[in-house]
Structure 1
Amino acid sequence: MKASHEMSELFKIVLTSSITVLSGILVFVGGQLIAKFFIEPIHEQRRLIGEIAHSLIFYANLYSNPVLSKPERQNEAQKVLRRQACQLRERTHVIPWYKLWQSLRVVIKYNDIEEASSHIIGLSNSVQTTPQLTQEMIDLTINDHIPRHVKKIKELLCIKF
């Protein structure tokens, strides 16, 4: 009888330990899945918005007066901004349940992301000048188009500087 009782106690200990280890593994795997599929994509989107803020500051001297900047620098700025506009849409599309996160205000509204991406492309297009542009077109770009694009990008992506 005593051996049976000890076996029963040993069985309880092994069962409890097994359940504890299995529960720990399930919690770990669940946490990793949540991090990989939800937290990381949201974090990547936010990191990119930070990079866009950096580009707005870094290339401000180019888009403030594109006529005086070197064509190589204009090309560089144009490529970087266009790539970031595309990446913004890409990083937004990989976030699962975007509407849920949007309603919880965890992420920026989807329409604002799309509009900001369009303005980044518009800014990218405005950075480069060509000899075919008239002075009137250049003035309109510098005094209207570029400031409007920058203002909307900052507003839509909640960038402050």
Structure 2
Amino acid sequence: MNDPSTFFWTVASAVTIFVLGQIYLKGFVEPLLDLRKEIGQTAYILEFYWNRMFAEGAEGEELRKKIRDNACDLYRKSQTPIVYSSCRFLFGMPAREDIHKASRRLIGLSNQVGERTPEDPKIKRKEEIYKLLKIENFEEK
């Protein structure tokens, strides 16, 4: 136990394990969890504000801006995880291309104004976003 080389290798091993653990957390786990939270935020915005987001005026404009911000954050956070395609299965995440498609559909929603009708394309876009992001549809429960 008094051997300096044993002490050195013990410290070097501990530091190596710590550094590898941090790389794993910061490079893989945290970006995937942040993306997962952003997908949850998307579901929240679509459900909570759905009745008012297409209204004309300042409130509708502000809500459509939230959708656009969310779409951009979703796209940005999908670019962050290292080797996303390999790790996404562990967290049940959608494919990166599906996230990009959902982001584009959110941008499309943010550009629409007006009342909804039963055959409204806005409803179809919302359903597509839910499917692409693997979100359970709140209305189907």
| Structure 2 residue aligned with 1:40 | 30
Count of residues in Structure 1 that have an aligned counterpart in Structure 2: 136
Bigger radius of gyration among the two: 1
Do the aligned partners of residues 35 and 139 (structure 1) sit closer, same or farther apart at CA in structure 2, a change above 3 Å counting?
closer
8 A contact 2:28–2:87 mirrored in 1: no
TM-score by length of 1: 0.75
Alignment partner of 1:62 is 2:52: yes
Q: In structure 2, what is the Cα distance between the partners aligned to 1:41 and 1:57?
A: 24
| Structure 2 residue aligned with 1:23 | 13
- By how many angstroms is 1:147 displaced? 0.5
Q: In structure 2, what is the Cα distance between the partners aligned to 1:139 and 1:94?
A: 35
Alignment of 1:4-153 (within 5 A): 10-11=2-3, 14-63=4-53, 66=54, 69=55, 71-102=57-88, 104=89, 106=91, 107-126=93-112, 128-129=113-114, 143-153=119-129
Do the aligned partners of residues 10 and 95 (structure 1) sit closer, same or farther apart at CA in structure 2, a change above 3 Å counting?
closer
| Structure 2 residue aligned with 1:133 | none
Contiguous gaps of at least 5 residues in structure 2 = none
- By how many angstroms is 1:47 displaced? 0.7
- By how many angstroms is 1:31 displaced? 0.6
Identity level (%): 31
Do the aligned partners of residues 139 and 38 (structure 1) sit closer, same or farther apart at CA in structure 2, a change above 3 Å counting?
closer
